[in-house]
Amino acid sequence: MRVERHCVIDADRDRVWKVVTDPDCYPEFISSLERWETITEGPMRIGSRYTVHWKIGSVPIGGVVEVVEFDPSRDLAWIGITGVSQRGRFRLREAGDGRTRLTFRLAYESAGSILGFIADRVAAREVGRNMDKTLTRLRNLVEG
């Protein structure tokens, strides 16, 4: 299942990038985040790993994720190493007048053929709401 949300932030890409690449900020803006632990030392970069659990409904899901793309002020992407199969991305683009268009993509797949597919479809609505809340919190954090 792939879910995507967008927003425009009244700040330049460098300012937004500073927040989305600061692991200490994630608990402040990621909605329904239950667990966020840094595994690797140092600043976020390709190869950085984090233990992440989101609460979807009453179920915490997640695992270890690894940053696989790190293009400064443009793209940050990760994949799931353990736990739920997932891929995520923050994409930053110019929106004119010093603003940034931010795209948040999340693709995930539960185990278990047809039952996994059904679970993914049921969860998609709540995942989308959480992504909307995440972008609102991120926008408020950057602009505030």
The predicted model gives 123-127 an average pLDDT of 71
Least confident of 1-5, 39-43, 89-93: 1-5
At 54 the pLDDT is 86
- Per-residue model confidence as pLDDT tens digits over 22-58: 999 999 999 989 999 999 999 999 999 999 998 877 7
Burial 2-27 (b: 16+ CB within 10 A, else e): ebebebebebbbeebbebbbeeebbe
One-letter amino acid at 57 equals G
Higher pLDDT, 26 or 2: 26
